[in-house]
Amino acid sequence: MRYFSSLLSTQIVAASFLSLFVCHNSSAAPASTPSSTQSFFDFSANDIRGKKIYFSQYRGKVVLVVNTASECGFTPQMADLEELQKKYSAKGFTVLAFPSNDFKQEKGSREEVQKFAQDKYHITFPMFDKGPVTGSDQQEVFKFMTEQKPGMIFKDVRWNFEKFLINREGKVIERWSSITSPTSKSVLEKIERALAAPM
């Protein structure tokens, strides 16, 4: 138990340090610019059951994309993400979870990942197949999002549970670090503003 507490504290301190370099606004850093006509809704990915999902089905919705992991100190944020899903889904909002083992904290099979999320957190939001969110094998949608919303110093995702907010036009309008709670005031305000914006 003492080892686990120490490990958890180390994770949180590390993520806190990394969060200093994560952008919370669009003017934080220069970066390569994706096509002005490209949209989040142009991409696709396999869901946790292996079925290909075209993101065009989310067109017109406000989307919160989160890279998740089952063995992270921030894993309890899954409960907060489910709270957001229940609060705003009827207004045209959804959470999309993308499990990743990039930080060695999502080691199970897709079946184990899904079972854990459903049994422990009773999630109702879509979950996608495990995949890389960093590096040369980075999923295309994460490449798109990090180019649209780079970090202050590091463009790439630096830890589990980073969050990208997509507006109804498919553009990344906000990015939060791991330490920002999904139900924090800043996140709620941005979601509500995006939902209220005219299409």
Given the structure tokens 């299409």, which residue do they identify? 199
Every domain of the chain and the residues it spans: 2-196
What kind of architecture, by CATH, is found in domain 2-196?
Answer: 3-Layer(aba) Sandwich (3.40)
Rounded to whole angstroms, the maximal C-alpha distance in the chain is 52
Q: What is the dihedral of CA 41, 93, 134, 31, to 10 degrees?
A: 70
pLDDT digits (tens, 9 = 90+) for 165-192: 999 999 999 999 999 999 999 999 999 9
Range with the poorest average pLDDT among 14-28, 60-74, 152-166: 14-28
**79 or 7, which is more confident?**
79
The C-alpha atoms of residue 154 and residue 147 are separated, in whole angstroms, by: 11
Confidence class for position 149, pLDDT limits 50, 70, 90 = confident
Whole-angstrom distance, CA of residue 35 vs CA of residue 1: 49
Mean pLDDT of 75-87: 99
Q: Which residues are catalytic?
A: 72
Mean pLDDT (whole number) for 59-87:
99
101 vs 160: CA distance, rounded Å = 9
Q: What is the Cα–Cα distance from 182 to 170, expressed in whole angstroms? A: 20
